[in-house]
Amino acid sequence: MNALAALLLAILRSFSAFFRSRHDQALVELALRQQLAVYARQHRRPQLSPLDRAFWWALSRGWSRWKTALVIVQPETVVGWHRERFRRYWRSISTPGPGRPPISEETKQLIVRMATENRWRARRIQGELSKLGIRVSLATISRYLPKFQLHRDPHQGWLTFLRNHRDLIAGMDFFVVPTVRFQLLYVWFAIEHGRRRVLHFNVTANPATRWVIQQLREAFPDEPSHRFLIFDNDAIFSTEVACSIARFGIHPQRTTFRSPWQNGTAERFVGTVRRELLDHVVVLSEEHLRWLLREYIDYYNAERVHTSIGDAPASRITEIWPSCHARVVGSPRVGGLRHRYAWRDAA
């Protein structure tokens, strides 16, 4: 109300200007401008009310020289007020049209899920959504695609291969074991990815290509049930070894450099046999190591329960509690380093 009263009072006082001479009006304007200049020099810019803004907006619409009278505001400010009033005007007369309704949060999550799990792009996702009765445009789907969709993960192809063919894949590798006299012994083994079963192993102090090929013959003596054999870039796995694998009817699949995860089942077996056996014994000789590994691998294949498959590779039978008097007893394995547990009736 104070701003409105001040504005009305200013308008009423301005009527006297119509009765002044040009000379008097010029002097009055000069005096007012000098006072405004002193005020602008000594005080901060005053806060203008919406009514003040409306006044200057209306004045700018009806007076072409309105910019010459500005002291406490800038011309750009008045233009900005005008644009803001224009936006508000169109917002007030605009009503929400029919348009395209926004998609649900569930559909957004489904788009991200399809893109992540299948590496699909917008058009493939649109086709899959249409089979679920969900109609979404390509532009909308593209808006919610994960950013990595544009950069295909190079690991995804190999991981998909391992997951889809694990029952048909075997892996082979070497690991080194020192003896009590610091002689290095080389352990070769082949293991299947599906059931984690060790197919064959052997120990030597002098690994050679011919020796590896002989181990492959013993690991796959009959018609092979595996289609792929994975191995790394060790120099001993030469082209001659790869050709021998192919002659057995198995596709040789070499991993890329510095990518042990691509033959992860074999790498995990090496870690397991070290933690559960080799870290607890001192190897005396080649025959001693072969005997230790033979006993451990028998336990590993037939009795050790693997968390990844929830069973032993050779499908250990689940025992049922025989009676209320039965108790669990442990039988030592691998020289007492491991145990096999079973129900026994009390005597």
pLDDT in tens, 247-261: 999 999 999 887 888
CATH superfamily for 160-302 is Ribonuclease H-like superfamily/Ribonuclease H (3.30.420.10)
φ, ψ (nearest 5 deg) of residue 179: -95, 180
What DSSP line would sit under 104-130, residue for residue? PHHHHHHHHHHHHHH---HHHHHHHHH
Q: Is the pTM of this model over 0.85?
A: no
DSSP state of 180: T
Degrees to nearest 5, angle at CA 12 with 10 and 14: 70
Helices (H), 94-221: 105-118, 122-130, 138-144, 156-165, 209-219
175 three-class SS: strand
Structure tokens at 99: 């348009």
Give the C-alpha separation, 124 to 300, whole Å: 45
Give the C-alpha separation, 58 to 121, whole Å: 54
- The pLDDT tens digits of the residues spanning 122-137 come to 888 888 888 888 888 8
pLDDT band at 162 (very low <50, low <70, confident <90, very high): confident
pLDDT band at 273 (very low <50, low <70, confident <90, very high): very high
pLDDT at 94: 65
pLDDT at 299: 94
Give the C-alpha separation, 226 to 339, whole Å: 31
HSE (side-chain half, CA atoms, 13 Å) at 30 = 6
